[in-house]
Amino acid sequence: MRCQYCGYLESRVIDSRPTEEATSIRRRRECMRCGRRFTTYEKIETAPVMVVKKDLRREVFAPEKIKIGLLHACQKRPVSVKDIDAIVEKVEKAVYSSGEDEISSRRIGELVMEELKKQDEVAYVRFASVYRQFTDVGSFMEELNKLVTENKLRTLPTEDAQ
């Protein structure tokens, strides 16, 4: 494995463990030249799933694109990189476990928003504003009102509690 710091090709594995979802192996490595440590992940090679975009173009599913979008949405929010990686992993698992050769970008976006809403509502609204391409304040407010209504419904006492 090539060292990300000096480019040397030889490293030794210091630690190996499965990720939380057990979909990959995390390896901690140390470069044999510069001594710096870095992390690599080993995953099962899967058959490519094609993403059908809005304009009907197709491209290979790339979980790293989801992570980039989440990093932007979660900027300056109390969402850790570990939380973001967990969301990406859940979405990736859902995409591959669907058994389909193709999935729409809309479905992927919905999966991401579903997970992000549980994590941080502000980041969710940020992501949704880009994903749903809000064109005016009205559509933005409509999404916020839905979120407020859902929160109110979650906090209402149930009949069982009475």
Q: Which two tokens stand for residue 100?
A: 């389909």
Residues 41 and 104 placed together within one structural domain of the fold: no
Q: How many domains does the chain have?
A: 2
Residues in contact with 76: Cβ distance below 8 Å, sequence separation at least 6, in sequence order:
none
Is 4 domain-assigned?
no
Claim to verify: residue 139 and residue 106 sit in the same structural domain: yes
Residues 36 and 87 grouped into a single domain:
no
| Lowest-pLDDT choice from 18-22, 23-27, 65-69, 153-157 | 153-157
Q: Domain range spanning residue 143?
A: 47-152
Residue closest to 71 by CA, chosen among 53, 92, 88: 88
33 belongs to a structural domain = yes
- For residue 162, pLDDT over 80 is answered with no
Q: Is the pLDDT of residue 29 over 90?
A: yes
Percent of the chain, pLDDT > 90?
A: 62
Assigned domain for 159 exists? no
**Within a domain: residue 20?**
yes
Same-domain status, 26 and 105:
no
Residue 66: exposure state from Cβ atoms within 10 A (0-12, 13-18, ≥19): buried
The CA distance from 131 to 66, in Å, is: 11
- Model pLDDT, residue 38: 96
Examine the pLDDT at 56 and tell me if it is beyond 70: yes
pLDDT digits (tens, 9 = 90+) for 1-28: 899 999 999 999 999 999 877 778 999 9
